[in-house]
Amino acid sequence: MNATTWSLDGQRDAATAGRGIWRFASPQAAFQLAGRLQPLAVAVAVAALLAGLYIGFFISPTDHQQGEAYRIIFVHVPAAWLSMLLYVAMAFWSAVGWVFNTRVSSLLARAIAPTGALFTFLALWTGALWGQPTWGTWWVWDARLTSELLLLFLYLGVIGLQSAIDDPRRGDRAGALLAIVGVVNVPVIYFSVQWWNTLHQGASISFKAAPTMAASMLAGMLLCMLGLWAWSAVVVLRRLQGLILEREQDAAWVRSEVGGVVSVEQGGRA
């Protein structure tokens, strides 16, 4: 990446800054916004997770079929939802970065990938823990489980492709292409229990019908979902800030931001 290209990118980002939401295409504006959003996201994550887990483990009734083993849904279901939601978000920001050539969009997609992979692994792991007492086996090549495993491979593929290319901008575009192509797997995961005769149970929550679970179970699950979503926002925003500082390390505003942080830390130690 030569200096002329970086200069053109900087001019493009500066030109879009100040026009509504596009002002956050500026790395500096995005960095500052990420910093402002994190405290709120931390507060939401802590409050929602504590409330959700308390309801799920101490207030919700025991399931008459699965006994206490069902309580893993308060982690498994939110993790599975987030694994799909984060992939769609990663593909969306990849497409925005590809079409408009905005650096922050590509960096945000890159920041989402590890967190999405973590939630996908968590969904698979907790699903295995749930499946063993329910189905009598840790794993079956069920349509939903198999497509969820493919989702994990897609996340790892995006991360690996981005890391394997020395030029970060080319790595962003290569990863974006795989992310956009792989998004077709998300509806396969979601509708797999309807399209095929699978061992996995159907959705407990549907937009077309009333929930099939007790109100306390639903409340606990939704609170855990909100808490994990907020936690993922904190991690992604923090990672985005690190990527911005890495890419923009020679910019004057970065030296100002880093200098301010160092000054505060030194003042606190004094």
How do residues 131-166 score in pLDDT, each as one tens digit? Answer: 777 667 767 788 788 889 999 999 999 999 999 998
Q: Among 111, 110, 113, which Cα is nearest to 87's?
A: 113
d(CA 105, CA 24): 9
Cβ contact 253:28 at 8 Å: yes
Beta strands in 84-184 (DSSP E): none
Q: Among 220, 186, 41, which Cα is nearest to 116's?
A: 186
159's tokens: 């991360």
* Mean pLDDT value across residues 221-244: 95
Torsion of CA 82, 85, 89, 90, to 10 degrees: 60
First to last CA, the chain: 42
Say what the pLDDT of residue 30 is.
Answer: 87
Q: Chain-wide mean pLDDT for the chain?
A: 81
* Mean pLDDT value across residues 189-203: 64
pLDDT for 98-139, tens place per residue?
A: 988 888 999 999 999 999 999 999 999 998 887 777 667 767
Cβ contact 101:9 at 8 Å: yes
d(CA 231, CA 75): 13
d(CA 145, CA 188): 11
In this prediction, what percent of the chain has a pLDDT beyond 70? 75
What would the CATH number be for the domain defined by 41-262?
A: 1.20.120
Q: Among 219, 227, 224, which Cα is nearest to 45's?
A: 227
